């Protein structure tokens, strides 16, 4: 735990950035997945929280969506849709906030699942994300990981003042491990790598689907930075991810792509 005096009030963008940092700091690397916590409690000085009173619910929803997108970009696995809670702490000074992470109880997970979706944005070529991340299996007992920071410990931040910021003792980093990303369906498996992988009926497609409901060039998966994106290529019957129709979306480990009557699973593995 650490703190520093900072005179400005807390800004939502700083909360989002530090929440993503806490997600990164508490990841656990398993055999085939990277797990992260799904409940984040933000502690604020009463004056800082008061400035959010008129739109606190909307801001919490935006922070949840930010964490969902961050998890998708990094290929993290979540047991449930993230939950962001706000609490007041009189011991914190204005401009300083704390974040505690944990795993949701069944009741909290149900609350997160019932959370309303944020308003639609004007950004083109992207449909709304599914209301909840897919439920994934429990962490295997043979997980191999560097020790994460203790869940439940509250980290204190002074936003905007990162230079020279004191950090908790760093754990030894594990040896770099090669990552593979694949598309798996009833007829086979294709490794994505750094290339674009096409899906469709055409014999030129990497994932060839013999289905009259699938267009000749239906969709493609692209490597973008450290993540992967699925793009519909103007298909006749559309493309779905986890039951939601999309035009373009980031892919997260375990997502199920539907083209016609064919189901294709996206997997990211370390090993």
User: Mind spelling out the 3-state secondary structure of the chain?
Assistant: CCCCCCCCCCCHHHHHHHHHHHHHHCCEECCCCEECCCEEEEEECHHHHHCCHHHHHHHHHHHHHHHHHHHHHHCCECCCCCEEEEEECCCCCCCCEEEEEECCCHHHHHHHHHCCCCCCCCCCCCCCCCCCCCCCCCCCCCCCCCCCCCCCCEEEECCCCCCCCCCCCCCCCCCCCCEEEEEEECCEEEECCCCCEEEECCCCCCEECCCCCCCCCCEEEEEECCEEEEEECCCCCCEEECCEEECEEECCCCCEEEECCEEEEEEEEEC
216-268 confidence digits (pLDDT tens): 999 999 988 778 889 999 999 999 999 999 999 888 888 999 999 999 999 98
Share of the chain above pLDDT 90, in %: 38
User: What is the model's pLDDT at position 108?
Assistant: 56
Q: Average of pLDDT values for 92-97?
A: 89
Confidence of residue 212 (pLDDT cuts 50, 70, 90): very high
Answer whether residue 6 shows pLDDT above 50: no
Pick the range with the lowest mean pLDDT from 50-59, 134-143, 160-169, 234-243.
134-143
Q: Average of pLDDT values for 7-32?
A: 86
């Amino acid at each position: 735990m650490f703190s520093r005096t900072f005179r400005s009030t807390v800004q939502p963008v700083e909360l989002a950035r530090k929440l993503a940092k806490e997600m990164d700091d508490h990841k656990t690397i398993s055999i085939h997945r990277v797990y992260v916590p799904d409940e984040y409690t933000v502690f604020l000085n009463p004056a800082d929280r008061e400035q959010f009173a008129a739109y606190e619910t909307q801001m919490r929803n935006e922070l949840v969506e930010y964490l969902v997108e961050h998890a998708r970009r990094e290929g993290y696995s979540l047991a449930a849709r993230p939950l962001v809670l706000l609490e007041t702490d009189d011991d914190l000074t204005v401009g300083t906030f704390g974040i505690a992470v944990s795993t949701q109880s069944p009741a909290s997970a149900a609350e997160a699942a019932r959370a309303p979706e944020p308003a639609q944005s004007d950004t083109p070529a992207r449909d709304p994300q599914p209301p909840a991340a897919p439920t994934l299996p429990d962490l295997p007992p043979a997980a191999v990981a560097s020790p994460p920071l203790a869940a439940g410990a509250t980290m204190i931040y002074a936003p905007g003042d990162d230079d020279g910021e004191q950090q908790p003792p760093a754990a030894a980093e594990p040896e770099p491990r090669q990552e593979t990303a694949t598309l798996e369906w009833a007829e086979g498996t294709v490794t994505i790598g750094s290339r674009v992988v096409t899906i469709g009926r055409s014999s030129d497609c990497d994932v060839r689907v013999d289905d009259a409901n699938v267009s000749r060039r239906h969709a493609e998966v692209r490597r973008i930075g450290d993540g992967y994106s699925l793009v519909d290529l103007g298909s006749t019957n559309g493309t779905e991810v986890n039951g939601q129709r999309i035009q373009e979306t980031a892919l997260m480990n375990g997502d199920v792509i539907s083209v016609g009557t064919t189901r294709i699973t996206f997997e990211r593995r370390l090993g």
